[in-house]
Amino acid sequence: MAKIAVLGYGVVGSGTVEVFYKNKENLEKKAGEPLDIKYILDVRDFPNSPYADKFVKDFDVILNDPEVTVIAEVIGGLKFSYGYVKSALEAGKSVVTSNKELVAAKGAELLQIAKDKNVNFFFEASVGGGIPIIKPIHACLEANEIDEIAGILNGTTNFILTKMIREGMDFGEALKIAQELGYAEHDPTADVEGIDACRKICILASLAFGRHVYPENVHTEGITKVTLSDVEYVESYGAKIKLIGCARREDNDEISIGVFPAVIKDESQLAGVNDVFNAILVRGDATGDVVFYGKGAGKLPTASAVVSDIVSAVKHSDTSRSLTWQDSTQDFIRPFDRFDCAHYIRISANDDSAVKETVKNIFGDVQFLVTKNQSKGELAFVTSVMTEQEVKTKCDDVAKQGAEVTARIRVLDY
């Protein structure tokens, strides 16, 4: 009999308890032994809950109960979680978590403790909600060298961009609807500025490339500057604007990594990912591109990933030491100035042949884009592949010719 404790009875916590008891019989078959939730930790009281007798307010009750072998941390944030998870692992208990902030900030340290103590630290729910992605990368694609990972990792921003693309809403309107529907928080910063997506690409990159990538070292841009005008130009290019987190293996044992709005061609499996859905593309040297798609958030999808990790933690009570990565100085992260890709650029300038000549002289071979509602005095085009540094210099050169660059969005090729 494995006894479990759930830390936090918010949306994901209550979902975890719900999914656990709904599928208990089947989960026990999978785990190979009886399972039960012994404690639920929450500062609030739930006197009318069917699980009222399980609630505790003191984490030490859980920590000091040798019967508890697996702890599910679904509180979120770092304030309480980090201390709880660390002491649980140190006490020889396995931990599963949905907390991307915790894994992105402290993953290497916590994985090392888990390894030292011969227990598990699993975090399937931290990326992609109910989409299986951590375990497939770790336990299904291990015969590949992973060359790139790219994903639509944040449902809120994907919902907003979908509204802009499909219904011609501007960013502010679309955000307001996302807030009304409960997809965006009252303070939407973590979503719309790319912070949430950044934590997730850090976790995926750490897993795929074996060294911890800390969020503060990742170039991160949100979607607040994406305009309807850009959406339309990009549409004329046969593409969509998506908020992408991406990481790729470079030469010299370096990686490139970033989070930013990107132009994605309609043929890509990522272009058709709409609303609050997420998708993650993994490019392996043997298997080619594999894409995982589904609901990236939500009570039951996320809870189902937490519960699956609970079963794995019980079942592989001593066999998952290979799920790990090294802490590392961050010098393997290539400076973002050297990131190379094509660029969509919009400039304020007359659409006449002289300006076009100037653009060609500076950017070389470009593809000009035309839309129905194109403003006079505006020109948009897509460049060939060049580094950040190169494109910035060229944008400065264009500005010197009196044409202001009003938008630049990277074009990715997935």
- Examine residue 142 and tell whether it contacts its own copies (CB under 8 A): yes
* Given 140, 354, 385, 399, the residue binding its own copies (CB under 8 A): 140
- Examine residue 222 and tell whether it contacts its own copies (CB under 8 A): no
CB atoms closer than 10 angstroms to residue 221: 18
Q: Which stretch binds its own copies (CB under 8 A): 93-101, 177-185, 316-324, 380-388?
A: 316-324
By CB under 8 A, the residues from 30 to 89 that bind its own copies are: 30-32
- Examine residue 117 and tell whether it contacts its own copies (CB under 8 A): no
CA gap 269, 266 in Å, rounded: 8
Selection from 129, 187, 153, 121 nearest residue 11 by Cα: 129
Q: Which stretch binds its own copies (CB under 8 A): 18-26, 82-90, 227-235, 347-355?
A: 18-26
Residue 67 CB, nearest approach to its own copies (Å): 22
Look up 54 and say whether it is catalytic. Answer: no
* Given 96, 114, 131, 247, the residue binding its own copies (CB under 8 A): 131
* Given 21, 80, 91, 136, the residue binding its own copies (CB under 8 A): 136
Any alpha helices (H) in 122-248, and if so which ranges?
Answer: 134-139, 155-167, 171-180, 189-192, 195-209, 228-236
Give the β-pairing of 404-412 and 340-348.
Answer: antiparallel
Nearest CB to its own copies, comparing residues 176 and 265: 265
* Given 312, 339, 363, 395, the residue binding its own copies (CB under 8 A): 312
Residue position matching structure tokens 């939730």 = 37
Nearest CB to its own copies, comparing residues 188 and 284: 284
Residue 171, amino acid: F
- Examine residue 329 and tell whether it contacts its own copies (CB under 8 A): no
Q: Are 231 and 224 in contact (CB under 8 A)?
A: no
By CB under 8 A, the residues from 243 to 272 that bind its own copies are: 267, 269, 272
Residue position matching structure tokens 């100085």 = 329
- Examine residue 383 and tell whether it contacts its own copies (CB under 8 A): no
Say which of 54, 200, 295, 394 is annotated catalytic: 200
By CB under 8 A, the residues from 149 to 208 that bind its own copies are: none
CA gap 241, 226 in Å, rounded: 8
* Sequential DSSP letters for 246-283: EEEE-STT-EEEEEEEEEEETTSTTTT--TTEEEEEEE
- Catalytic residue set: 200
